[in-house]
Amino acid sequence: MDCAGRLPAVAARPTRNADLVARDLAVLWHPCTQMKDHEALPPIPIRRGEGVWLEDFDGNRYLDAVSSWWVNLFGHANPRINAALKAQLDELEHVILAGFTHAPALELAERLVALTPPGLERCFFSDNGSTAVEIALKMSFHYWRNAGEPGRTRFVNLTNSYHGETLGALAAGDVSLYKTTYEPLLMGVLTVPSPDCWHRAAGESCAEHSRRMLEPMRETLERHAGEVCAVIVEPLVQCAGSMRMYDPIYLRLLRELCDRHRVHLIADEVAVGFGRTGTLFACEQAGISPDFLCLSKGLTGGYLPLAATLTTERVYQAFYDDYATLRAFLHSHSYTGNALGCRAALASLDIFEQDDVCAHNRELSREMAQAVAPLAEHPHVGEVRQHGMILAVELVRDRKTREPYAWQERRGLRVYRHALGRGVLLRPLGDVVYFMPPYVITPEQIHRLAQVAREGIELATADSGAP
């Protein structure tokens, strides 16, 4: 490197995957990855994206069936979002949001308040899903102090829940793979069994099971009356927790329970918001309004890091006072309300409005269900489950007992490898193969996806032996 920080010039020839992989592995540390795995399966350098397709430097194309970690809604390089961002770039890229404001941030806040369930009237921006959750936790806790109930210091969560990776959000979740190592650093939470329908009894419907699972929540809130700030849940789908699903009845009854115990309800719709479960927000299916709603991922259509925590006027008013009372919410992130992120979000909301996206998604959801229907009878498929544009196939050693495969066998990884070879980006969660595609996927592409998943599942389970 010379003193201007320039790297030595590289030979002028077309860049190939291998060139970038070598450079990548010399400097990058990838998220959620045992880097040694890359000795066998190198990262794939992506040159460009268009619609559902990603293209690497060797010219291979991959259908992005996981919407690049559940963020992309309307395809890569969407012309409408691109145009909005290009225009915004010439106006304002970013400005401090303390003491200053700008049109994209306030327009987005207005539209989110109008679109989200009734009663959510204040919008606090940040820049990712974990911060949206941290903010909800801190606001809830701080609300109770400001409201003269400092004894409320605890949070209640569900088994198998996931709310992010920063320490507060990690503490609020329950997926042991991510949490156990850091346990000594984390606040304690009260964890109650999830209404997850995978665990329903023989002959029990999902709704009956979800309803029954309210009982442990009721007991916990009664036992800890006056100690709890909030209950935090992922409405309808525990995405990082293996795409486990439950019935909307649980949310409706939980809302009543929280009201009875004067406890906040935090709905973390970071993954399920913006049309994923069939409605714009999953809470709509239960007809409820949470006290806090956390949004990120699809908020910008998958373009830029942005998050919003929405809350009620009542919560807001508990912080509104003379400065010297020190009741203000003094929380900040440098990129809060970034103008480009807000503009991308507005362009994405325009698409929802102009294209009747939720109705279109209902058709695509039916197509996804049909395409994977044959898998439901597979000897190593424990369940095919779906909420709207999220469809999951859970692989098991024994279909009858639902005995799982040993996690060390990494069956899902075999599906991942097969799919890459066939031009599809599927990224199973353990042994759960799922589709969460961009909403611009076509019925033909859905069938191709299902075909590749079927082949991958056959391969991955071929040596299982008889159950």
Residues in touch with ligand PMP (CB under 6 A): 128-130, 133, 162-164, 234, 239-240, 268, 270-271, 296
Compare residues 174 and 367 and give the one whose CB is closer to ligand PMP: 174
Q: Is the distance from CB of 157 to CB of 174 less than 8 angstroms?
A: yes
Q: Is the dihedral of CA 36, 42, 48, 52 positive or negative?
A: negative
- 425 — alpha (psi -120 to 50), left (phi > 0) or beta? beta
For residue 70, the minimal CB distance to ligand PMP (Å) is 7
Distances (CA, A) of 368 to 29, 237, 426: 35, 17, 15
State the Cα–Cα distance between residues 119 and 311, nearest whole angstrom.
8
CA distances from 436 to 20, 21, 386, 433, 454 (A): 28, 27, 10, 10, 16
Provide the minimum distance between the beta carbon of 325 and ligand PMP in the complex, in angstroms, as a whole number: 32
The least distance separating ligand PMP from the CB of residue 100, rounded to whole angstroms, comes to 25
CB of residue 115 to ligand PMP, shortest distance in Å: 19
The label of the residue with tokens 């949070």 reads 155
* The one-letter amino acid at 107: E
Closest residue to ligand PMP, judged by C-beta, is 129
**How far is CA 32 from each of CA 49, 297, 435, rounded to the nearest angstrom?**
22, 17, 19
Residue placing its CB nearer to ligand PMP in the complex, 254 or 318: 254
φ, ψ of residue 114 to 5 degrees: the values are -70, -35
Of 92 and 186, nearer to ligand PMP (C-beta) is 186
Residue 23 token pair: 């450079």
Nearer to ligand PMP, 130 or 386 (CB): 130
> Which CB sits closer to ligand PMP, 17 or 131?
131
**Cα angle 458, 461, 465; round to 5:** 125
Rg over alpha carbons for the chain, rounded to the nearest Å, is 23
Give the shortest CB-128-to-ligand PMP separation in angstroms. Answer: 4
Between vectors from CA 382 to CA 380 and to CA 386, what angle results, nearest 5°? 125
What is the smallest separation between the CB atom of 164 and ligand PMP, expressed in angstroms? 3
The contacts of residue 352 (CB under 8 Å, 6+ apart) are: 274, 275, 280, 358
Between 133 and 347, CB nearer to ligand PMP: 133
Alpha carbons 285 and 381: distance in angstroms, whole number: 28
**Residue whose CB is less far from ligand PMP, 71 or 213:** 71
Shortest separation between residue 163's beta carbon and ligand PMP, angstroms: 5
Least distance in Å: CB of 130 to ligand PMP?
Answer: 3
Tokens standing for 113? Answer: 């308040």
Sequence letter at residue 69: W
Nearest distance, CB of residue 39 and ligand PMP, angstroms: 26
- Name residue 373's amino acid: A
Are the C-beta atoms of residues 309 and 136 closer than 8 Å to each other? Answer: yes
Nearest distance from residue 296's CB to ligand PMP, in Å? 5
User: Would you say 62 or 162 has its CB closer to ligand PMP?
Assistant: 162
Kindly state the tokens that stand for 102. Answer: 């700008």
Nearer to ligand PMP, 221 or 272 (CB): 272
Least distance (Å) between residue 291 CB and ligand PMP: 17
Cα distances from 431 to residues 64, 293, 396, 402, in angstroms, run: 19, 30, 8, 12
Tokens of 278: 């069939």
The torsion defined by the Cα of 351, 357, 358 and 363, in degrees rounded to 10, comes to -170
Considering the complex, state which of residue 164 and residue 456 has its C-beta at the smaller distance from ligand PMP: 164
Instruction: Calculate the CA 153 to chain-centre distance.
Output: 26
Could you give the CA distance from residue 432 to residue 169 in angstroms, rounded to a whole number? 23
Nearer Cβ to ligand PMP (269/367): 269
Q: How far is the CB of 269 from ligand PMP (least distance, A)?
A: 7
Residue 332 to residue 335: CA distance in whole angstroms: 9
For ligand PMP, the closer of residues 162 and 335 by Cβ is 162
